[in-house]
């Protein structure tokens, strides 16, 4: 006989106890643990996808110094390789055009615009190999999103309407531009660490390259034009205007490969050990000083005529230098040529006085007294000025002082 379940019995049907729900709790724990594991796995896969799914590789290229003055301090460029489109492009932020109308005037006044250019990597490499300049590549540790954003940025930056910028050798050049791009597109990294000794100055940093390359005449020219701002102490970021410094900073700050995946030499150059020359500015100017002093003791008529012409040329050239210093200080946009203390010995007024040296005018005698006093002050304060002076100029200042004194004696 079948038992019919009444409505009352149905609604009072009891489920098994399951030992106070322990069974359900065990199942719930397993479900939660499995869900957490699945979430972690998905997160890891998403991260791996973000890092490795891109076909793009971004790397910093650092090139060793060259023989030309503009290449003395090396070069930086950005290489972007895309295996999906089979492209290998180098972005160069240090390009200028010699055919630009008014090129030299714009260059001197600091108004020449530099621009971003692109080149095939093989062509870029061949060019640097042909001039015996080494290339080091640092592959940057960027995920797929960062690579794509950086790629879009540089391609947009290379467009005609965006490619030009106001170049500044110390503060905004081909290396600092790349540093800023890397920092902008790389998040959560350890800040770059200093690679130069504390309290290093801009002038000391460039002297290191010029001395190493035996470019003493270039060093003299640079020291003549660059004023007191070049003797400011660099910050860590400012020191990265030099390509080698940025490369070293990326390596030094590369904790757990945060910034650089790998580093390799693409071309090892052969150092030129025959760059030293005996005819340095110090030796040439010292010989000139000795020769002129020796000739000054001669009473020969030809010697006197020679000295008259030499004094006029000496005053004219130093006066022309003074005019150049004033023009660079007041008439250009170069930030590092201001406050040039070379004006304490290269007086702009000498360019006019040069035409009256053989006269016996009263004002000329007073001028010579004033100029001699200024030269003595310059020599006494030479090593204490806010600007580091080039010691090769000491024989020149001594020569000016000696010939000015002899001129004063002739009155």
Top pLDDT among 386 and 3 is at 386
pLDDT category of residue 108 using cuts at 50, 70 and 90: confident
- 396 CB neighbour count, 10 Å cutoff: 21
Strand pairing class (135-140; 56-63): antiparallel
Measured distance CA(247)–CA(76) in Å, rounded: 9
Kindly report, residue by residue over 121-144, the tens digit of the pLDDT. Answer: 999 999 999 989 999 999 999 999
Question: What pTM value is reported for the model?
Answer: 0.81
Domains identified in the chain and CATH numbers: 52-196+234-267 (3.90.1720), 281-409 (no CATH)
Of residues 53 and 371, the one with the higher pLDDT is 371
Residue range 312-334: average pLDDT?
Answer: 96
Inter-CA distances, 105 with 92, 112, 116, 224, 328, Å: 24, 8, 21, 19, 12
Give the pLDDT confidence score for residue 275 in this predicted structure: 61
Say if residue 288 is exposed, middle or buried (CB neighbours under 10 Å; 0-12, 13-18, 19+): middle
Looking at residue 270, what is its pLDDT? 74
Q: Does residue 10 carry a pLDDT above 70? A: no
Arithmetic mean of pLDDT, 100-106:
79
pLDDT band at 11 (very low <50, low <70, confident <90, very high): very low
Given strand 75-82, what is the order of strands in its sheet? 164-166, 113-120, 87-95, 75-82, 56-63, 135-140, 260-267
Asked if pLDDT for residue 39 goes beyond 90, the answer is no
Instruction: Give the C-alpha separation, 346 to 367, whole Å.
Output: 14
Q: What's the pLDDT at 37? A: 47
- Round to whole Å and give the CA distance between 75 and 335: 21
CA angle, 38 then 41 then 45, to 5°: 140
**Counting beta carbons within 10 angstroms of the beta carbon of residue 204, is it exposed (0 to 12), middle (13 to 18) or buried (19 or more)?**
middle
Mean pLDDT to the nearest integer, 12-24: 44
Task: State both tokens at 346.
Answer: 């290269």
Q: Give the pLDDT band (50/70/90) at residue 84.
A: confident
Residue 256 vs residue 336, higher pLDDT: 336
Instruction: Check residues 267 and 220 and name the one with the higher pLDDT.
Output: 220
Q: Per-residue pLDDT tens for 159-211? A: 999 999 999 999 999 999 999 999 999 888 778 999 999 999 999 999 999 99
- pLDDT at residue 256, rounded to an integer: 76
- Distance, in Å, from the CA atom of 240 to the CA atom of 377, rounded to the nearest integer, reads 37
User: By three-state DSSP, how is residue 76 classified?
Assistant: strand
For residue 54, what pLDDT band results from cuts at 50, 70 and 90?
low
Residue keyed to tokens 């106890």:
17
The rounded mean pLDDT for the chain is 86
Residue 299 is predicted with a pLDDT of 87
- 8 Å CB contact between 302 and 320: no
Least confident of 92-101, 162-171, 397-406: 92-101
More confident residue, 268 or 123: 123
From CA 75, how far away is CA 269, in angstroms rounded? 14
The whole-number average pLDDT for the span 364-390 is 97
Q: How far apart are CA 286 and CA 378, in angstroms?
A: 18
* pLDDT 10s digits, 277-304: 789 999 999 999 999 999 999 989 999 9
Distance between CA atoms of 245 and 249, rounded to whole angstroms?
Answer: 6
Cα–Cα distance list, 154 to 161, 180, 285 (Å): 13, 12, 49
Q: How far apart are CA 78 and CA 199, in angstroms?
A: 30
């Amino acid at each position: 006989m079948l038992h019919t379940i009444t409505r009352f019995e149905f609604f009072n049907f009891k489920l098994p106890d399951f030992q106070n729900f322990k069974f359900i709790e065990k199942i719930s724990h397993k479900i939660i643990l499995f869900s957490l594991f699945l979430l972690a796995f998905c997160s890891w896969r998403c991260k791996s996808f973000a890092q490795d799914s891109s076909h793009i590789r971004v790397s910093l290229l650092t090139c060793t110094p060259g023989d030309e003055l503009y290449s003395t301090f090396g070069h930086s460029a950005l290489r972007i390789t895309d295996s999906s489109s089979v492209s290998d492009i180098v972005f160069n932020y240090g390009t200028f055009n010699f055919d630009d109308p008014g090129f030299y005037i714009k260059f001197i006044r600091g108004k020449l615009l530099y621009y971003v250019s692109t080149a095939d990597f093989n062509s870029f490499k061949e060019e640097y190999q042909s001039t015996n300049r080494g290339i080091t590549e640092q592959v940057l540790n960027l995920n797929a999103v960062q690579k794509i954003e950086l790629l879009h940025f540089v391609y947009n930056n290379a467009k005609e309407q965006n490619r030009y910028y106001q170049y500044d050798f110390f503060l905004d050049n081909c290396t600092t531009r790349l540093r800023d791009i890397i920092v902008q597109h790389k998040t959560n990294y350890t800040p770059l660490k200093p690679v130069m000794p504390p309290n290093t100055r801009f002038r000391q940093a460039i002297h290191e390259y010029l001395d190493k390359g035996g470019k003493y005449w270039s060093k003299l020219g640079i020291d003549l034009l660059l004023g007191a701002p070049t003797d400011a102490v660099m910050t860590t970021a400012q020191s990265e205007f030099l390509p080698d410094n940025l490369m070293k900073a990326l390596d030094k700050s590369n904790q757990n490969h945060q910034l650089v995946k790998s580093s390799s030499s693409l071309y090892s150059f052969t150092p030129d050990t025959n760059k030293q020359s005996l005819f340095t500015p110090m030796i040439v100017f010292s010989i000139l000083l000795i020769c002129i002093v020796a000739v000054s003791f001669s009473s020969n008529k030809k010697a006197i005529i020679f000295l008259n012409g030499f004094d006029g040329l000496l005053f004219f050239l130093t006066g022309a230098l003074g005019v150049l210093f004033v023009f660079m200080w007041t008439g250009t946009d170069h930030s590092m040529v201001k406050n040039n203390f070379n004006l304490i010995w290269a007086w702009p007024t000498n360019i006019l006085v040069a035409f009256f040296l053989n006269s016996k005018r009263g004002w000329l005698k007073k001028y010579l007294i004033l100029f001699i006093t200024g030269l003595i002050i310059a020599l006494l304060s030479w090593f204490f000025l806010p600007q580091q002076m080039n010691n090769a100029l000491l024989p020149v200042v001594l020569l000016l002082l000696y010939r000015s004194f002899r001129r004063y004696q002739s009155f």
